Structure 1
Amino acid sequence: MKVDKKWTTVMLSFLMAISVSACGAKDAPPAAKQAPAAPAQTVSEPAAKGGPDYPTKQIELVVPFAAGGGVDLVARATADYLSKEWGQPIVVVNKAGGGGAVGAEYALKQAKSDGYTALAVNVSNTTMLTAGMTNPPVKNEDQIYTSRIGKGTLAFAVKADAPWKDFAEFSQWVKAHPEELTWTSVGPAGFSAFGVAQWLDVIGADFSKTRMIVTKGAADSVPKVAGGHAVLAVHTVGEIMPMLQAGKVRILAVAGEERSPFLPDVPTAEEMGVKGLTVFWWTGVSFAKGTPDYVIAKWQDAIAKMEKDPAFAKKLSDIQVEPDYADSTAFTRDVGQETDAYTELATKKNMRK
């Protein structure tokens, strides 16, 4: 009998398919025993976007103030720690000017948002800058607040031989003679300006009758007070400490609910009957909008670890800065609340320009 070759080919292919399928079914593991799919990674797991490879080159940490100040010293201590932690150099670059706005604009608007340009942020060039200007060059929404690192206590310093015996007496004198009060600040939206404005508001003194003397910062303003060229300097404890230790100025009080650990013998303003002073100095790190999540996560986690390091804690203590870590979520929330409070104060005192 003649067999159709085409039909034979089809049948052979069919039988071979059945044989292969049977063997495969015997050797393959049951479907129920296959490994489940891996869960999606979160921001805290930098591997999601190649994070383990970051950083692969030098990072620039921009300090928008002159070298030697509190922000600069904290930034340098941070850069030193993270350079060793990550095995890549972190270089501090000072770009001063505009009350911190010049450096902030460079880091947040001119440099690439690839994680290799970080900004050392401070209360002066964030919440106070936004509150003090109707159209600030840099806004909160321009950046990702990554981690807060440290804080400083606000202190009220006068000349060493000033006639007032304490802060209560000084406050009473200012309330009665606001036109005689001269105080130093880097500008109308500076840290000192908000500290003075809040204090005068609390004691009921006329802020508009006082006179601000513009300076380049603590290194310029505290000597002016020591020399009698201004009545009051409001800076952090650390910024006033050199002139205090030299016996050139006297600190009448510090703000906050507790005494400064660096000046345990100096009373708080609240102890002197002046309540409600909440202005404080802080510094941290931020990045431009659009920076990858894994970069933010890596900095956030590394700074949290850094704050627990005894050697780093000592560096902060040496410059009279207290550790005050906050992760990105808490930092962003605090900045928002602070901006609202300072904007209300600046509007009330006609400080907005």
Structure 2
Amino acid sequence: MAISTISARLRQWSACAAILGAAAMGALPAPAQAWPDKPVTVIVPWPAGGPSDIAARPLSKYLSETLNQAFVIDNRAGASGNIGTGMVARAKPDGNTLLITASGPLVINQYLFKNMPFDARKDLMPITNLLRVPQVIVVNPSVPVNNLKELVDYIHDQKGNFSWASAGNGTTQHMTGELFKRTADLRMVHIPYKGSAPAITDLVGGHVAMLVDSTIAVVPMIKSGKAKAIAVTGKHRSPQLPDVPTVDESGYKGFESYAWYGLFAPANLPSDIAEKLNKTTLDFMKTPDFKRIMEETGSEFVGTDPATFASFIDEESSRWSKLAPSLNLTLD
């Protein structure tokens, strides 16, 4: 994709996020009233039980209790998150359909699909970032390695006969694994799954040797001894895994990657609904329940306003644009 095209698309996010400011100046029609006045569907474009659900389910419960209306999770997996995300992109912007997703459909899929069913920057409005968590390189306990150097040497010794798993093509987990593969000059076979839950199941069952996934998904498996942690991909060690070094510490300086999860709505959401949704979500993120989630998952607090979240998405999209096209991977 040409740099000029990427830059133009990045500017569209900022324009979408600027809707709130424009509305305050009278640039939009009169806002909708009495929202929510009927049950709200919260689409998660991944299988039930995956990392996105960690944020989606408690947030939906809080919104239901606080706003006196049902917020119902609807897991719509498929096409690396494009199916569920596209449903929200095409939905009426009345606040009755929302999206909680990982980053893949927003910043990566555009470089991997020839025919995207939506334009994330035009069709979706960022509300707030919910979680930003490091990822972990883990292996099945039967793999005879205990640190990253040993893992790299072991993969080299397999001469291409080594498999690793991710939550799906185009996910941040996939991109992080590809970045590690390129950084360490490895030959290994990628096995994409339809979400984190089935990938973890096959790792624990010994069907794949290695997995890259967020601390949200794999810390329970690590603590139970069903998976062995090798390295963390964040800038700092995870509080949940204080004895596990970062990839940077393990000899690959500057290596850094996070999984993140955000709340979105269809573009052109009325300003009063967007403001109410953002404020209520940020209120939830200050509760003891959410603080417990952050502690358990190793997440950093990243609650933001729509404009700040849009800027972050711009940066992420630009960063992955340097790697994703070079994979020569077409997903449709």
Give the shorter-chain TM-score range.
0.7 to 0.9
Instruction: Give the structure 1 partner of residue 87 of structure 2.
Output: 106
Partner letter of residue 98 of structure 1? A
Instruction: Give the structure 2 partner of residue 155 of structure 1.
Output: 136
2:179 to 182, 195, 198: 198
Cα 1:345–1:256 change in 2 (3 A) is same
Q: When the two structures are superposed, what TM-score results if normalisation uses the length of structure 1?
A: 0.79
Counterpart Cα distance in 1 of 2:61 and 2:179: 36
Partner letter of residue 119 of structure 2? K
1:242 to 194, 198, 220: 220
| 8 Å Cα contact 1:269-1:277 kept in structure 2 | yes
Counterpart Cα distance in 2 of 1:43 and 1:172: 57
Q: When you count helix as a share of all residues, which structure comes out higher? A: 1
Instruction: Give the structure 2 partner of residue 97 of structure 1.
Output: 78
Cα RMSD between the aligned structures? 2.5
Counterpart Cα distance in 1 of 2:311 and 2:78: 27
Counterpart Cα distance in 1 of 2:132 and 2:159: 30
Q: When the two structures are superposed, what TM-score results if normalisation uses the length of structure 2?
A: 0.84
- Shift in Å at residue 144 of structure 1? 0.8
Cα 1:93–1:188 change in 2 (3 A) is closer
Cα 1:316–1:92 change in 2 (3 A) is farther
Instruction: Give the structure 2 partner of residue 38 of structure 1.
Output: none
1:311 aligns with 2:289: yes
| 8 Å Cα contact 1:45-1:297 kept in structure 2 | no
Counterpart Cα distance in 1 of 2:57 and 2:120: 24
1:75 aligns with 2:75: no
2:228 is paired with a residue of what secondary structure? strand
- Shift in Å at residue 166 of structure 1? 0.7
Cα 1:263–1:100 change in 2 (3 A) is same
Instruction: Give the structure 1 partner of residue 320 of structure 2.
Output: 342
Cα 1:50–1:113 change in 2 (3 A) is closer
1:188 aligns with 2:169: yes
C-alpha offsets along residues 192-229 of structure 1, whole Å, 9 cap, x if unaligned? 32011111222233xxx421223233222223233332
Cα 1:73–1:232 change in 2 (3 A) is same
1:278 aligns with 2:259: no
| 8 Å Cα contact 2:236-2:246 kept in structure 1 | yes
Counterpart Cα distance in 1 of 2:77 and 2:261: 16
1:337 is paired with a residue of what secondary structure? helix
1:119 to 99, 118, 123: 99
- Number of residue equivalences: 309
Partner letter of residue 269 of structure 2? T
- Shift in Å at residue 248 of structure 1? 2.0
- Shift in Å at residue 238 of structure 1? 2.2
Cα 1:153–1:45 change in 2 (3 A) is farther
Partner letter of residue 236 of structure 1? S
Instruction: Give the structure 1 partner of residue 3 of structure 2.
Output: none
- Shift in Å at residue 284 of structure 1? 1.4
Instruction: Specify the structure having the higher radius of gyration (Cα).
Output: 1
Which ranges in structure 2 are unaligned for 5 or more consecutive residues? 1-20
| 8 Å Cα contact 2:107-2:320 kept in structure 1 | yes
Cα 1:250–1:130 change in 2 (3 A) is same
